[in-house]
Amino acid sequence: MNVLSIMKIPRILFLLLLLVNISVVASPSPKAQRLLQMIDYVAIDYPEAIHNGTIVNRSEYKEMLEFSDTVVVLAELLPVGLRQSEIVSLALNLRQRIKEKQNSKIISNLIGKLRFELINQFNVIVVPNSQLDMEQAEQIFTQECAQCHGKQGDGNGPLAKNLSPPPINFLDRNRYLKRTLYGLYSTITMGVDNSSMRAYSQLNSLERWSLAFYVGQLGTSETEYQQGQKLWQAVGTKHPLSNPQTLATITPNQAIEKYGDESLSLLAFLRSSPRVLFFSDSDSPLNKARHTLQKSLHAYQLGDKQEAYQLAVDAYLQGFEAVEDNLRAIDPRLLRDIEVNMIYYRKSIRGAKKLSELKKQLEILDDQLQKTEQRLSTTLINATTAYKNALFLLLNKAFEALLIILIVTMLLLKTSTSGVYHLLYLSLVSALLLSLVTWFFAKELNLSFGSGNETKEFLTALLATALLIYNALRLNNEAHQQHPKDKSGDKALSDKLLSGMFILVFVVAYRDIFELLLAYPSLWNQTNLEGQSLILLGFISALILFTIILWLLQRLCYNITSLSALRAGTLCMLMVSTIFIGKGISALQKSGNLPLTPIDLPTVELLGIYPNIQGLLLQGGVLLFTLLLLLKNRDKMKQTPQPTSK
């Protein structure tokens, strides 16, 4: 056995999971963000260069031509797929229209389409995920910005006269009407090339968003604010501008064109008082879910079915999902009812059902969410229940990892490969460390996982399924290469099989450990001090139980041949692959990325069995595909001379 070749595994392990991790937890494509920033520059400055098809500022127009070239280059550098060709086409069209000196409205409309495509195709986060602190934002502006932009934001700070280009005057009404809040946020985040405006990376995301809202309201008047406040009291969340994404990505000019003159005053109020839209950390996730569902219904009523569907998904991912584990501990039936009703509500939106039908469904959901809040606020898990939940939480959430470790241990015991146990431990420790790093940074950066967590679950499930099928095929190969009467058990597993198994252990352990890191804090907060002590005891008991199972397996393995171990390993890996594909598909369905057609069958979450046509068909398809590969492999092996028994 070439142990050195297997030692390359840790690098492979980290690369595989970092790819999944970065795609979900890290910030979206920097090129997409830079492109959004660039088109915002064009939207703001183009009217100062061209008026009625005539150049009014030659240097400004030259800059617009340069910016339009950069927009095309950045669009072409975006990842292929995800409608990249459509984005490139829009960028080329924008450049051509600028060369033709088209009027500002045409340019603004093109930029609006380009902005929409970028945000939706690359999942760029264009709204804050928590309450903003406008008082802190004013302090940050005074400390970090006033030296250049002036205390009032008029661009006449003490350092302004020595800067080229000069600092922006935030009181300039014309520029205010063309500026988005996200454009301000991206400028604060990334800075501006070839200027004194640096990136404020020392500020966290919420501080940058707070600063963007503060700066974004400087161009408004007190009269507008008061009129907007009255309008908000009258219409509230019924107005489209109450959608945070719309608020952050629309210019005042676009708002007037789309929603009328009154939207200008409403924008002034919402930019100055974002507290009415964003929840603070102490706000209930259930309230967030209820409010988001109401917004969804309102969007549907206005005819925007896509927005209604996305808001319905957000109500689950950014609201209800946060309390799922707590509710599961005290009322699993209510949990299941809410999940089913949320799925039916989303399905009704997709199916363009009558508004009256959606209202009835939403009334039921609202009652259930209120009941959930009452149960969670008045019910503490007793110590005995806390112990049981902690015990079974580990066994349930880490079920797949436990199975894989048991299978790999059995195979190592029955072959001459016990010398690589340290690599098994290395895989587990690496998975633990990466899970902790992911969880820690997400918590510190105040990231809301939302659909990203469901996407992570699907991607790791898909990767694990592929690895399981690969390992099952290799195990089947090695089983065919052994003579049925060979009981020596001294045939070592191949390096390729060992590499595949250890990568599999890493991927599955990472996935399950991360799920545990999200689940245990919820259980911890749902009980008293005595219960918290028993949670620790339940966790330790689960580990002891797992150790006993491993010991019993080791004793059992003495009575079976290595051939039996290989065959059992093949079957077990096939079984676990169906569990993974079932859970991965369910994650996509929960996030609204895959349709769901329920059927009247029981749910067996532990085995990845969810009663819907799409999930069961895909599970059956994967199983059938793997069995066909095994049969084809068996026929191929029959044509190969079998080794003789000693």
Residues in Cβ contact with 441 at an 8 Å cutoff, skipping those fewer than 6 apart: 25, 447
pTM exceeds 0.75: no
- DSSP string across 537-599: HHHHHHHHHHHHHHHHHHHHHTTS-HHHHHHHHHHHHHHHHHHHHHHHHHHHHHTTSS---B-
Each residue of 213-265: pLDDT tens digit?
A: 999 999 999 999 999 999 988 887 678 888 787 888 899 998 998 889 889 99
Burial (CB count within 10 angstroms: exposed 0-12, middle 13-18, buried 19+), residue 576: buried
The answer to whether residue 2 scores a pLDDT higher than 70 is: no
- Whether 582 contacts 445, CB under 8 Å: no
- Measured between alpha carbons, how far is 362 from 368 in angstroms, rounded to an integer? 10
Band of pLDDT at residue 6, cut at 50, 70 and 90: very low
Between 127 and 78, the more confident residue is: 78
Between 314 and 429, the more confident residue is: 429
pLDDT for position 76: 87
For 594, list phi and psi in degrees, rounded to 5.
-145, 135
pLDDT for position 451: 47
The answer to whether residue 367 scores a pLDDT higher than 50 is: yes
- Whether 28 contacts 122, CB under 8 Å: yes
Each residue of 172-219: pLDDT tens digit?
A: 998 899 889 988 998 898 888 778 888 887 888 888 899 999 999 999
Residues in Cβ contact with 135 at an 8 Å cutoff, skipping those fewer than 6 apart: none
**What does pLDDT average to over the chain?**
80
User: One-letter amino acid identity for 258?
Assistant: K
pLDDT for position 140: 92
- Measured between alpha carbons, how far is 522 from 101 in angstroms, rounded to an integer? 58
